[in-house]
Amino acid sequence: MSQLPESVIITDDTMREGLQIESADIPVSEKLRLLDALGETGAKVISIGSFAHPKWTPQMACIDEIAERFVPKPGVKYTAAVFNQKGFERAEKYYPKIDVRTLRFGTHVEMCDSFARRNYNRTQTEQIAAMDGAIARAREAGAESGAVVLGNPFGSNFEGAFTLAQRLDLLTLMIDAWHNAGFEVTRCSLLEAMGWNLPHQVRETIEAIRDRWPEITEFHCHFHNARGATIASYYEALQLGVREFDTSIGGMGGCPYCGNGRAAGHVPTEDFVDLCEEMGISTGYKLDKLIEAVAIAEEVVGHPLWGHVSKAGPRPSAESLYPIDMPFVETLEEAAHFRCGPDVYAHQLSPWKTGDALTRQ
């Protein structure tokens, strides 16, 4: 049964997921320009990057400079990715400008041991062994409930497909650890780096989790779009009332550890915002500002991005319908008339002649 949420929280992950797969030579000034543009889009949560070791993620070697120099926009929560205690301690220096405190109160285990080794330099067994420490830190900080994070739940480029039973078995292991420590678990994140998600799997997984653990009322989806199914998977999650999603403008993103690189991009923020708003789901984003941010991002990274709404424009309103005598529009540059004006197609042939009679040869 459809239970669309009234609103969603879309975390824009451009500065982290997007830039981590782009050139490490992009100047800090350009990254700050992009971050400033993102702050104008109406985003409520923006990740500024990751406090990762520069040997493995050289694109994030400048994260401290970005954290120090950027000017926060009112009403935006800025966060960052941290992968261990050292990363948390680095990020904590910038609190409350950057807030990563809530990230500590979860247990994260990968379904794929191979990916855990490649991406986190830890085995799945080591991740499981670390759960007690994470729960202890949550208790020390006064957390009222726990969260579980299931990495690559649907399948692996290195180990193949995972079943629903395997997903539930690993979740049971994590949730039981929280229960044994006296905590309820109220939140579940599904993190998909390798693009194995499919809509029907997303539905059966969320429904199964709700049936087994009704205490879990918050779901968060972070799915890469390696095989083009993620916006359909997000739509399925929306139908189940899920409210938290991660995206990147223009579909920027990727993973150097999964074997797909830049091809493992994200759902474009502007496309997902357009979908939600057209379905009556409030996002808080301003679509025109998002599209301008995509244009800036393309300048920053030096190549076209992969979103659709940023190229074709939003559906025109009654005040912005295209003129019926518009000449040919063929290139992406000409298609940008919705934001750049009619001069971009002024050189083109016109299929109309006086009297509005259409002529075709």
* Residue 55, phi-psi category: left (phi > 0), alpha (psi -120 to 50), beta (remainder): alpha
CA distance 188 to 51: 23
- Read off the pLDDT of each residue in 131-150 and give the average, rounded to a whole number: 94
- Read off the pLDDT of each residue in 246-250 and give the average, rounded to a whole number: 96
CA distance 356 to 324: 9
- Read off the pLDDT of each residue in 7-12 and give the average, rounded to a whole number: 96
Distance of alpha carbon 142 from the chain centroid: 29
CA distance 235 to 248: 16
The CATH 3.20.20.70 domain(s) of the chain lie at 9-306
Q: Which of 11, 257, 28, 5 is nearest to 152 (CA)?
A: 257
Q: Please, which residues have CB within 8 angstroms of residue 18's CB and are 6 or more apart in sequence?
A: 248, 249, 250, 252, 253, 266, 297
- Read off the pLDDT of each residue in 102-114 and give the average, rounded to a whole number: 88
Mean pLDDT, the chain, whole residue set? 93
Percentage of residues in the chain having pLDDT higher than 70: 96
Structure confidence by residue, pLDDT tens digits, 262-315: 999 999 999 999 999 999 999 999 999 999 999 999 999 999 999 999 999 999
Residue 141 burial (10 A CB sphere; 0-12, 13-18, 19+): exposed
Are the beta carbons of 173 and 128 closer than 8 angstroms? yes
Q: Which of 95, 98, 206, 106 is nearest to 146 (CA)?
A: 106
- State the pairing for strand pair 106-110/9-12: unpaired
Q: Is the pLDDT at 133 greater than 60, yes or no?
A: yes
Q: Is the pLDDT at 261 greater than 80, yes or no?
A: yes
How far is the CA of 261 from the CAs of 120, 159, 201, 255, in angstroms? 16, 18, 24, 5
Give pTM, 2 decimals.
0.93
pLDDT number for residue 361:
47
Q: Is the pLDDT at 83 greater than 70, yes or no?
A: yes
pLDDT number for residue 354:
58
Are the beta carbons of 234 and 273 closer than 8 angstroms? no
pLDDT number for residue 105:
77
Q: Which residue has the tokens 């199914």?
A: 229
CA distance 43 to 36: 11
- Read off the pLDDT of each residue in 201-230 and give the average, rounded to a whole number: 97
Q: Is the pLDDT at 1 greater than 70, yes or no?
A: no
Written out in words, the top-level CATH class of the domain with range 9-306 is alpha beta
Structure confidence by residue, pLDDT tens digits, 36-47: 999 999 999 999
- Read off the pLDDT of each residue in 66-86 and give the average, rounded to a whole number: 92
Residue 147, helix vs strand vs coil: strand
> Residue 358: pLDDT band by 50, 70, 90 thresholds?
low
Of all helices (H) and strands (E), which one includes residue 114?
Answer: helix 113-120
Q: Is the pLDDT at 248 greater than 70, yes or no?
A: yes
Of all helices (H) and strands (E), which one includes residue 67?
Answer: helix 63-69
CA distance 176 to 165: 16
